[in-house]
Amino acid sequence: MPPMKFCPSCAAPVAERIPDGDHLPRAVCTRCGTIHYRNPRLIAGCVPEREGRILICRRAIEPRRGYWTIPAGFMEIGETLQQAAARECHEEALARVEVGSLCAVVHVLHAEQVHVMFRAVLAADGAFGVGAESLETVLCDESDIPWPDIAFASVEFTLRRYLEDRKAGREGLHYRTFA
């Protein structure tokens, strides 16, 4: 998100100050007084599995173009986290999934994001393809996951916990914070 310089309500300049009763500096309009809060944004994603293999996507867009990820993206207004995860899977890999249990919640502080990653199962037809934001997509055996070329630390964290849990026959929920 670009820094706020002008009030989105009235176009006057904003100033950083701590509102009465608050404890953090906020962007406050110097004319209309509106306080504009800035909050972490949600990324929803999933680990889509079919017959033991995992669907991963090579990114066609920045950041990390050319690197591999699981389907994930910004949650939209009006949808649930599970719907967002399924939508991203369809957009990036043209795949329909049934979203399952929550696998990982990753706080990415420098990006001002919370990544919420679910388990998922590919629809019965197993169809997938290459969405507009992907260069290629692959249904990948565990041993073929391109670990050095994974796009984001949150994705590597999620995949490793997912695979550990699968081996152990459990479905845990895992937390991690990246400064």
Interface residues with its own copies (CB under 8 A) are 1-11, 14, 21, 24, 34, 36-42, 74-82, 101-102, 105, 107, 109, 112, 114, 132, 173, 175, 177
The 14-17 sheet, strands edge to edge: 14-17, 26-29, 35-36
Closest approach of its own copies to the CB of residue 107, in Å? 5
Burial of 1 per CB tally in 10 Å (0-12, 13-18, 19+): exposed
Closest approach of its own copies to the CB of residue 100, in Å? 12
Residue closer to its own copies, measured from CB, 5 or 143: 5
Of 67, 97, 77, 103, the closest CA to residue 85 belongs to: 97
Residue closer to its own copies, measured from CB, 17 or 36: 36
- The size of the chain, in residues, is 179
Closest approach of its own copies to the CB of residue 14, in Å? 8
Of 128, 117, 134, 113, the closest CA to residue 82 belongs to: 117
Closest approach of its own copies to the CB of residue 168, in Å? 18
- Rounded CA separation 60/51 (Å): 26
Residue closer to its own copies, measured from CB, 14 or 95: 14
Residue closer to its own copies, measured from CB, 109 or 141: 109
